Chain A
Amino acid sequence: MNQVIFKDNWELIVGLEVHVELATQTKLFCGCLNQFGNEPNTNVCPVCLGLPGSLPVVNQKAVYFAMRLGRALHCSVNRSVFARKNYFYPDMPKDYQITQYDLPTNLEGYLELPSGKTIGIERAHIEEDTGKTTHIGTSGRISGADYSLVDYNRAGIPLIEIVSKPEIRTIEQAKSYVSELRSIILALEISDAKMEEGSIRVDANVSVREVGENNLRTRCEIKNVNSLKSLGRAINYEANRHISLYGNGESPRQETRHWDESAGRTRTGRSKEDAEDYRYFTEPDLVPLNPSEETITKIDQEMPELPSKRRKDLANLTGAKSSDVALLVERNHDAFIFDVIEGGGVPEQVVKHMVNNLSAGLGELSTEAFAQLTQMENKSEITSTQAKKILGELVKSGGTPAELATELGFEAIGTKEIENLVDQLINDHSDEWERFCLGDSKVQGFFVGQVMKSTSGQADGKVINQILNERSIDNK
């Protein structure tokens, strides 16, 4: 689905801003540990506390991670400059955030969704995280709090902010964008990318317009979205809010809104009119980042295979449908599948079992055993039900499928025997048989079921169907 999803011909427009905490050993501008879950204010020093006289020094690993992500998103990696974003808040030790403004590290790239659609990337820049404020009091917010506590362990943790173009048109695409970005980040090993721990944070810029309209309308920035599910709900809520405002002859105001998960709605935060002037200017305590050609070439050479490429390769090899391919790559099972098929596994059966029967993991399953199993199944030596049972054993405790089949008494019922059973059934149930021959596919299940019943499920369903079809052609 590429367009309209909302009533009355409204088109959804979404741009996402994703903040990712980089998994460096140390913080962006000092040697403090970059760790989640420590005692408050234990990973701190003069620099990340912004003590008078302290100065930042850029963590080169963080820069390298940011550039890697930039290249993975097909961005140009440029000479970049840090800037100060000035505003007062207790979780910001210096009362300014060191970020990048008009000269970010990564510019103009794109991300390819599993569906094949590409979403443009405007920029991906480096910045420092703030501390974490906890407001004590009934309101839970700063206004009305009795007092507030600040933990600066998070202050100065390296972030990369990836800003998409407003090219996302459906909720599915929005979710898919985030999960694809997550897979890329995991493949690059630059972050643990846990949305629930906040190491990936997503803000959604949402607006709507009438189909056919060229200009973008007023957008609202939705914050506090903590899962893919919330992302979908928040976008849906916000888009419908805009639609009903327009429906009433009103317009939304440009503002920041917060998603309230329990209430299932967004609430107004800060409006554009009273938005702060951040007085950006070049950070004089740092020097520009100037990556050499060699650095960028090296990053490209060290680039791991990314999900989009892996999906293409897997699709070419197996011919599986795109949703299955996406799922298997997401589970990191593609390399295993390659080995199985190379070892003689039958692609169709391999994919079927991987998708349906191996979601919990591969356990003790060896590529050889799996390949043999799919061959036995393909030759109808065992039925698919039997194959599934053997597979379960292989995952649990290994072994070879042939031995397991014998052990479990899975000798496939011969074709001749099935033919006899089918003929017997046709005789006993002539009414049903007539209906089958007239094309009533519902009764097909009846015949298959009967055969399965009398063979205790050991007959191959495919063979039964084949015989039924042969007989019905004979009948015409």
Chain B
Amino acid sequence: MSGMVPEQYQSASEIAELVATGEVSAIEILERYLNQIQEYEKDVHAFNLVTINEARAVAQETDKLIARGVTIGPLAGVPVAIKDNLCTKGITTTASSKILESWKPPYDATVVKKLKEAGATIVGKTNLDEFAMGSSTENSAFGPTRNPHDISCVPGGSSGGSAAAVAAGFVPIAIGSDTGGSIRQPAALCGVVGVKPTYGGVSRYGLLAFASSLDQVGPFATSVKDAAIVHEVIGGYDPLDSTSIKQAPESFLDMFDKGINELKVGVISELMGGIDGVTHEVIEQTNKAVSALSNAGAIVEEVSLPAALYCLSAYYLIAPAEASSNLSRYDGVRYGLRVEGANLNEMNVNTRTEGFGDEVKRRIMLGTYALSAGYYDAYYGKALKVRRLLAENFADLYKDYDVLLSPTSPCTAFKLGAKVNDPMMMYVNDVCTIPSNLVGHPAISIPFGSGKDGMPIGVQILAPPMKEPVMYQVAHALEKASQ
């Protein structure tokens, strides 16, 4: 079955160099990836839409510009897949929801614009859990995505389509969004690199909001270096996003090859068996990563993040609360699906009843309840307190440690259908990734070995806000150790 996962991936940086120097044409590169899609997409279903014609036109244009001697950006001719909750001008953007089945945005998300400017060839829109709500990509109105390592397993979620597309060699780079782990967890389950940047580090303009204070756009890649390069391309201040950070980030690659001698790494004990649900084999594998870092010269110590115990509960109040408001606009009035009714209220209700899937409805109800008069303080208000407490916990740890480490996902990829009827079991998949979202810190998942079932395991490196350089530095060291 693993035949569809290439023996070796070609890196994006290598492709860009070959294309920029004219050694290989962008269209040649594209066709190679399109062939892989042609071959295996029917099994994986990573895409909601493959934009073959548009992609060919872009690749040909790139080749023409290069022939004329025009300098193309750092992603010249690199095929990129975009999660289908990011706006692409004139190209259907659905969030894998029936309610937006044929909606075509009149504008590009800032990250899409930046990728285009950097010379990337956008090849299509990837599948996701509807409105990014889920951890398995089974909550898609257009059918689930499967894990290329074993198509009877889920790819994780919600950016399962993007993770699977990279793992299956459909694209060297894909873009996802991470609200509670939606990039890192599928990256771990599919054996690729996935990054959640610092909140405000990458513009959210054009990202269909799930939970605005937690959402962050980030890259999937087959190497840490590729992820860092793409992160630099899509990151930076955007005047269209008020939560975007004005301060220019330091180069993510400057410290890349400096090694990790004397760097201090804290291993979060709560996520290494302290909280139920993290499997033994994942802990075992993570301990191997700890040893690898230690061998590479880092000072590794066990640390405690007490508020981690409450993160899952806090997250499942805050995220649905914001979602309940963010998803109000899908009311059948202006765009997307409209199911008629006898009056305005009926039309609203019919549209939303038919347009949204069960998980989305569940979270809208949860969030509406949490924000209601009389319940706000007990639920939403308390969740905000956990968030503050967690930020204090992290700040204390970062006085002594450069980065923190934990597993990415509590388990390897599970079978399709295994958890769909138990939302709580599904939610636990995010237990290791949620803390970074609640505080807005960056984190990366790096593939590090596999479980007994042969499915990939990921290790997560967490860093303080805007400290991506050290995050990539440690991640790169771990990547080298795993090879």
User: Which residue numbers of A lie inside 8 Å of B, CB to CB?
Assistant: 46, 49-58, 84, 86, 88, 90, 93-96, 142-143, 148, 150, 277, 279-281, 284-287
A116 to B204, CA, bound (A): 52
Decide if A56 touches B242 in the complex (CB within 8 Å).
Answer: yes
A94 closest partner in B (C-beta): B329
A residues in contact with B103, CB < 8 Å:
52
**Distance in angstroms between the alpha carbons of A55 and B241 in the assembled complex:** 6
- Given contact pairs A46-B107, A55-B204, A90 touches B329 in the complex (Cβ within 8 A): no
Query: For the complex, what is the distance from the CA of A309 to the CA of B212, rounded to whole Å?
Result: 47
Q: Is B270 interfacial (CB 8 A cutoff)?
A: no
Which residues of chain B are within 8 angstroms of A279 by Cβ–Cβ distance?
324-325, 368, 371-373, 376
Please tell me if the beta carbons of B87 and A53 are within 8 angstroms of each other in the complex: yes
Tell me whether A51 and B241 are in contact (CB under 8 A): no
Minimum Cβ distance to chain B for residue A442 (Å)? 70
Contact in complex: A53, B240 (CB < 8 Å): no
Lowest 3 CB-CB distances: which A-B pairs, in order? Answer: A95-B328, A284-B213, A284-B212
Contact of B243 among A51, A88, A90, A285 (CB under 8 A): A285
- B60-71, CB under 8 A of A: which get 1 and which 0? 000000000000
Interface: B473 (CB within 8 A): no
With A53-B86, A55-B241 in contact, do A95 and B331 touch (Cβ < 8 Å)?
yes
Q: Which residue of A lies closest to B86 (CB)?
A: A53
A277 cross-chain contacts in B, Cβ below 8 A: 372-373
Contacts between chains A and B (CB distance < 8 A), count = 98
Q: Which of A50, A53, A54, A57 has the most CB of B within 10 A?
A: A53
Is B239 close to A, CB under 8 A? Answer: yes
Contacts A142-B344, A277-B372, A277-B373 given; indicate if A84 touches B325 (C-beta within 8 A).
yes
**A52 with B328: CB separation less than 8 A:** no
Shortest beta-carbon distance from B338 to chain A in Å? 12
A96 partner, pick from B211, B239, B325, B372, beta carbons under 8 A:
B325
Chain B facing A: main interface SS: loop
Distance between Cα atoms of A286 and B380 in the complex (Å): 19
Q: Cβ of A88: which chain B residues have Cβ within 8 Å of it?
A: 328, 331, 348
Q: Are B240 and A55 in contact (CB under 8 A)?
A: yes
B242 in contact with A285 (CB, 8 Å): yes
Query: Mind listing 15 A-B residue pairs with CB under 8 Å?
Result: A49-B334, A50-B329, A55-B204, A55-B240, A55-B242, A57-B242, A58-B242, A84-B325, A86-B324, A90-B333, A150-B333, A279-B372, A284-B243, A284-B322, A285-B242
Instruction: Say yes or no: A281 contacts B371, CB within 8 Å.
Output: yes
Contacts A279-B368, A281-B371, A285-B243 supplied; 6 other A-B pairs, CB < 8 Å: A55-B241, A56-B242, A86-B325, A284-B211, A284-B212, A284-B213
Q: Are B243 and A96 in contact (CB under 8 A)?
A: no
| Contact mask for chain B residues 218-245; partner A; CB cutoff 8 A; 1 contact, 0 none | 0000000000000000000001111100
Interface string of B98-123 (1 = CB under 8 A from A): 00100101110100000000000000
> Are the CB atoms of B105 and A51 closer together than 8 Å?
yes
B325 touches A285 (CB 8 A): no
C-alpha gap A138/B303 in the complex (Å): 71
Which residues on the A side are within 8 Å of B371 (C-beta)?
86, 279-281
Residues of chain A with a CB closer than 8 A to B373's CB: 277, 279
* B460 CB to nearest A CB, Å: 24
Docked Cα-Cα span, A93 to B336, in Å, equals 13
Does any Cβ of A come within 8 Å of B321's Cβ? yes
Partner of A52, one of B87, B213, B348, B372: B87
In the docked arrangement, what's the CA distance between A85 and B152, Å? 44
CB distance from A280 to the nearest CB of B (A): 8
Alpha-carbon separation in the docked complex, A285 to B343 (Å): 32
A53-B242 contact given A142-B344, A279-B372, A281-B321, CB 8 Å threshold: no
Shortest distance from the beta carbon of B393 to any chain A beta carbon, whole Å: 22
Closest to A95 in B: B328
With A90-B333, A284-B322 already in contact, the answer to whether A53 and B372 are too (CB < 8 A) is no
Q: Which of A49, A52, A143, A281 contacts B325 (CB 8 A)?
A: A281
The answer to whether B205 touches A281, judged by C-beta atoms less than 8 angstroms apart, is: no
B95 in the interface (beta carbon within 8 A) = yes
Please state if A46 and B106 are interface contacts (CB–CB under 8 Å). yes
Q: A96 to B328, Cβ gap below 8 A? A: yes
Q: CA separation between A280 and B375, bound complex, in Å?
A: 12
B204 nearest CB neighbor, chain A only: A55
Question: How many Å lie between the Cα of A286 and that of B209 in the bound state?
Answer: 14
Closest CB-CB distance, B212 to chain A, in whole Å? 4
Residues on A with C-beta less than 8 A from B204 are 55
Bound complex: CA of A90 vs CA of B328, how far in Å? 11
CB < 8 Å neighbour of B328 from A56, A58, A94: A94
Q: B205 touching A54 by the CB < 8 A rule?
A: yes
Residue pair B242, A52 in contact (C-beta under 8 Å):
no
Residues in B whose Cβ lies below 8 Å from that of A148: 344
A contact residues around B329 at 8 Å (CB) = 50, 52, 93-95
Q: Determine the residue in chain A with the shortest Cβ distance to B367.
A: A279
A391 vs B197: C-alpha distance when bound (angstroms): 76
B328 touches A57 (CB 8 A): no
- B208 interface hit (Cβ, 8 Å): yes
**Closest beta carbon of chain B to A372's beta carbon, Å:** 60
Q: Which chain A residues border B331 with CB–CB below 8 Å? A: 88, 90, 95
Q: How far, in whole Å, are A334 and B360 apart by their CA atoms in the complex?
A: 64
Q: Chain A contacts of B328 at CB under 8 A?
A: 86, 88, 94-96
Whether A55 touches B93, Cβ cut-off 8 Å, given contacts A96-B325, A96-B328, is no
B348 cross-chain contacts in A, Cβ below 8 A? 88
**Residue of B at shortest CB range from A85?**
B325
Residues in chain A near residue B148, CB distance under 8 A: none
- Interface residues in B235-257 by Cβ distance below 8 A to A read 239-243
Report if B355 contacts A (CB, 8 A).
no
